[in-house]
């Protein structure tokens, strides 16, 4: 990884993108990195696009990254991977949930959900991993833990120890929800190990 590494998290409102980016930033900070985080959540409450950049390194000056500079795109939804693919550096890594959330135009029958997501992504990188985040979250005990599953899938590619991830997750959730989220994280991590 370069001196400054950029991770872009992208999804739609209600998927826990901002919560996941907060946890990611806290884990990287705990691991000793300087971090900057930015987020855009315009129409998130209506299922609109939500993004967050988490940038880390020895010293980071800007919370946002230029197009073509993100080392990792963590997409919580297939079409959001397409929407933000131009931020990925050539040969960067894409971790993508297999979830499809129809935007209003598709729900109204005015447009069709894209069917060639992988083909578009393959033009930029061959490093694509599909994560069945919703199914894994249900296996762990709650569909709302899909964002934690995706953090688990991301974790092997970041310089953060398992102990720091555990500590960060313990700090991020009430005790009654920690075990479920830790299980979701471990199951997600198993997707990328």
DSSP string, 56-118: EESS---SS--TT-EEEEEESSHHHHHHTGGGEEEEEEEEEE------HHHHTTSS---S-HH
CATH level 3 topology of 4-100+125-131+158-173: Pyruvate-ferredoxin Oxidoreductase; domain 3 (3.40.920)
Tens-digit pLDDT profile for residues 8-38: 999 988 899 999 999 999 999 999 999 999 9
Strands 70-75 and 49-57: unpaired
pTM over 0.85: yes
Where do the domains of the chain lie? 4-100+125-131+158-173
Tens-digit pLDDT profile for residues 60-87: 988 888 999 999 999 999 889 999 999 9
Q: Which pLDDT score is estimated for 1?
A: 47
């Amino acid at each position: 990884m370069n001196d400054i590494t950029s991770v872009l998290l992208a999804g739609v409102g209600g998927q826990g993108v901002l919560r996941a980016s907060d946890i990611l930033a806290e884990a990287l900070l705990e691991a000793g990195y300087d971090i900057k985080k930015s987020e855009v959540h315009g129409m998130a409450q209506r299922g609109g696009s939500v993004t967050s950049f988490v940038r880390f390194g020895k010293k980071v000056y800007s919370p946002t990254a230029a197009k073509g500079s993100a080392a990792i795109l963590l997409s919580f939804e297939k079409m959001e991977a397409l929407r933000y693919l131009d931020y990925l550096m050539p040969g960067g890594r894409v971790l993508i949930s297999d979830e499809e959330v129809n935007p209003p135009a598709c729900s109204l029958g005015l447009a069709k959900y894209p069917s060639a997501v992988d083909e578009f992504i393959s033009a930029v990188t061959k490093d694509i991993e599909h994560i069945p985040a919703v199914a894994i979250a249900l296996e762990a005990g709650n569909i709302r833990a899909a964002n934690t599953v995706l953090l688990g899938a991301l974790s092997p590619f970041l310089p953060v120890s398992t102990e720091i991830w555990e500590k960060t997750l313990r700090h991020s959730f009430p005790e009654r929800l920690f075990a479920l989220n830790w299980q979701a994280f471990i199951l997600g991590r198993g997707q990328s190990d």
